[in-house]
């Protein structure tokens, strides 16, 4: 990378000017909110999403589907819907917490001196879901999994736009999270809610989304997960969204 002037120019541009991209396709799923119309209605009057039903993920073979927990199934459902049979498209998967329920179960087993399930351990790592998606589809396109606190989505978008700038025609972005185990309740910044959404991103053309950022020291207490704030911005058609995570102010807007 250090020897590539093209990469350096692209990186400098991202740092100083923000980024723009287009969304070719999108999908979203949460318990009781599974259609575009339902998401539009939710975006106009958001309510707390509660854990209940799980998506069917019928496009995935049952033997593989059974390995995924709630977070994985939600992410897989929207990924399948968004790609709709397309392949050879790089994926950026982001989740602030990942499958923390499974991780806590594994740690509890360790504390009791019990043997760990290799399959459970394999599905607890952060890149397990995009890996399972790749295996099920026999797709060798690269994938990235990341977590960056309450700004996970913004960092995932920057990663996806970096892939677009490097020549990828399209990139799949998947964001998801779910409620935390009870023992984390005293430390929650806001009530975690089950949800997942996916965008098939392409270089900016026509109606585009723009993301800019600048340092921000003071942050109001968040009322919902950052990925849900962004979902409401997209589904509701708002022209602008500002979020501050305590380090950066993220400004989302729609290019005129």
**Strands 143-146 vs 91-94: parallel, antiparallel or unpaired:** parallel
**How many other β-carbons are positioned within 10 Å of the β-carbon of residue 74?**
28
Please provide the average confidence, as pLDDT, over all residues in the chain. 91
The mean pLDDT of 7-13, rounded to a whole number, is: 42
201 and 22 in contact (C-beta within 8 Å)? yes
pLDDT of 9 > 80? The answer is no
The mean pLDDT of 151-175, rounded to a whole number, is: 97
pLDDT of 8 > 90? The answer is no
The mean pLDDT of 133-160, rounded to a whole number, is: 96
Confidence of residue 245 (pLDDT cuts 50, 70, 90): confident
Confidence of residue 7 (pLDDT cuts 50, 70, 90): very low
> Rounded to an integer, what distance in angstroms lies between the CA atom of residue 115 and that of residue 163?
40
| Domains, the chain, with CATH or none | 26-248 (3.40.47.10)
Q: Residue 252's closest CA among 221, 226, 230?
A: 230
The mean pLDDT of 201-215, rounded to a whole number, is: 94
Q: Residue 156's closest CA among 141, 172, 180?
A: 172
Predicted pLDDT at 15? 52
Identify which has the larger pLDDT, 221 or 25.
25
Predicted pLDDT at 248? 92
User: Per residue in 53-81, pLDDT tens?
Assistant: 999 999 999 999 999 999 999 999 999 99
Predicted pLDDT at 219? 73
pTM over 0.85: yes
Poorest-pLDDT segment among 10-24, 52-66, 115-129, 149-163: 10-24
Poorest-pLDDT segment among 115-119, 163-167, 219-223: 219-223
């Amino acid at each position: 990378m250090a020897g590539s002037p093209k990469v350096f120019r692209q990186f400098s541009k991202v740092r100083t000017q923000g980024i723009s991209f287009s969304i070719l396709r999108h999908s979203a799923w949460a318990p009781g909110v599974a259609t575009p119309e339902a998401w539009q209605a939710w975006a106009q009057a958001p309510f707390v999403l509660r854990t209940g039903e799980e998506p069917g993920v019928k496009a995935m073979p049952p033997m593989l589907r059974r390995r995924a927990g709630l977070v994985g199934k939600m992410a897989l459902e929207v990924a399948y819907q968004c790609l709709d049979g397309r392949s050879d498209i790089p994926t950026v998967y982001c989740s602030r917490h990942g499958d923390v329920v499974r991780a806590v179960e594994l740690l509890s087993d360790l504390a009791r001196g019990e043997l760990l399930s290799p399959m459970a351990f394999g599905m607890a790592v952060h890149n397990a879901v995009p890996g399972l998606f790749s295996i099920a589809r026999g797709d060798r396109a690269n994938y990235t999994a990341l977590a960056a606190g309450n700004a996970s989505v913004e960092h995932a978008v920057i990663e996806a736009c970096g892939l677009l700038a490097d020549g990828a025609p399209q990139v799949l972005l998947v964001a998801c999270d779910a409620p935390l185990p009870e023992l984390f309740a005293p430390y929650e910044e806001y009530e975690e809610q089950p949800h997942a959404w996916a965008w098939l991103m392409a270089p900016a053309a026509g109606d585009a989304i723009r993301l800019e950022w600048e340092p921000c020291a003071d942050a109001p207490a968040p009322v919902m997960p950052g990925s849900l704030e962004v979902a409401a911005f997209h589904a509701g058609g708002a022209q602008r969204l500002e979020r501050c995570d305590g380090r950066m102010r993220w400004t989302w807007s729609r290019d005129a």
